């Protein structure tokens, strides 16, 4: 027995360590994958993959070009675990959060409706809608707030979701640093991260979101299914290659 017990303990420890490496949510059957050249690149290649009936991941859309934050990317707060001592996303750093993030609702003020799964929340954005990035309000940070009146004060205008701005007329929420991804947003760790239409036909980077051509964005959105628990996986190529097996990535 004294020989068997250590073997059992070793097996359990090995099993726990192996399971702890699985970063990809097991229930997810759909993912948008973004691969950049390196941490400082604002260019990204985007594909959509789905699990087939046998559980194998297959590409269904893309690859399409996209743009990231003007300074590239940095580890974000999602369903993955960041490496020890890693630099992480901060408000205003001009970087897109990297890692694995659930995809959320749609925020739209485009004149042409967006085809989508009815189970995915859809918000018609108007002058009453804010997305709070003010660190002085931790209870509202990185959350949607709808006023009972159009934004009028300087603070309300600053926090107001974009009005009459074509690139921001279709937005798909990326759950970085949200209740859905980490339980409670961390103030100052980055807010208002979306997929949206790119600016100047892709010649301009973003402030931290992921942008792409409108037609391609609509294709992604029309295929998303809430029941498939879709996620966004954004990583530099070397990190994706390094972590693909241990994280259970597509």
pLDDT above 70 coverage of the chain, percent:
91
Asked whether the predicted pLDDT for residue 155 surpasses 70, the reply is yes
Domain assignments of the chain as residue spans, ordered by start: 4-243
CA–CA dist 135, 190 (Å, integer): 10
Over the stretch 64-102, which tens digit does the pLDDT of each residue have?
Answer: 999 999 999 999 999 999 999 999 999 999 999 999 999
CA–CA dist 160, 3 (Å, integer): 66
Asked whether the predicted pLDDT for residue 19 surpasses 70, the reply is no
3-state secondary structure of 92: coil
Asked whether the predicted pLDDT for residue 1 surpasses 60, the reply is no
pTM of the model: 0.90
Average pLDDT, the chain: 92
Asked whether the predicted pLDDT for residue 228 surpasses 70, the reply is yes
CA–CA dist 26, 22 (Å, integer): 8
Q: Bridge-partner residues for 82, per DSSP?
A: none
Over the stretch 32-58, which tens digit does the pLDDT of each residue have?
Answer: 999 999 999 999 999 999 999 998 999
> How many CA atoms within 13 Å lie on the side-chain side of 124?
3
- The 8 Å CB, 24+ separation contacts for 41-48 are 41/68, 41/72, 41/73, 41/236, 42/67, 42/68, 42/69, 42/70, 42/71, 42/72, 42/205, 42/206, 43/67, 43/68, 44/68, 44/96, 44/210, 44/234, 46/210, 46/212, 46/216, 46/220, 48/220, 48/223
């Amino acid at each position: 027995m004294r020989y068997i017990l250590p073997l059992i303990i070793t097996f359990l420890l090995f099993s726990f360590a192996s399971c702890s490496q699985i970063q990809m949510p097991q229930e997810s059957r759909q993912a948008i994958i973004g691969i950049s050249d390196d941490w400082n690149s604002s260019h990204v290649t985007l594909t959509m993959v789905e699990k087939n009936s046998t559980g194998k991941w297959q590409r269904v859309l893309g690859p399409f070009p996209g743009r990231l934050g003007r300074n590239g990317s940095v580890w974000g707060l999602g369903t993955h675990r960041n490496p020890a001592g890693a630099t992480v996303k901060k408000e205003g750093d001009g970087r897109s959060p990297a890692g694995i993030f659930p995809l959320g609702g749609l925020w739209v003020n485009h004149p042409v409706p967006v085809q989508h799964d009815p189970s995915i929340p859809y918000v018609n954005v108007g002058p009453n809608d804010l997305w709070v990035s003010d660190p002085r309000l931790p209870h509202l940070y990185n959350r949607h707030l709808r006023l009972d009146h159009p934004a009028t004060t300087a603070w309300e205008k600053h926090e107001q979701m974009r009005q009459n701005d074509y690139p921001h007329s279709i937005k798909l929420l990326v759950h970085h640093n949200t209740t859905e991804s980490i339980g409670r947003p961390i103030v100052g760790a980055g807010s208002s991260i979306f997929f949206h239409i790119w600016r100047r036909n892709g010649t301009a980077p973003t402030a931290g979101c992921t942008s792409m051509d409108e037609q391609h964005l609509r294709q992604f959105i029309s295929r998303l299914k809430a029941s498939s628990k879709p996620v966004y996986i954004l990583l530099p190529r070397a990190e994706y290659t390094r972590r693909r097996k241990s994280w259970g990535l597509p």
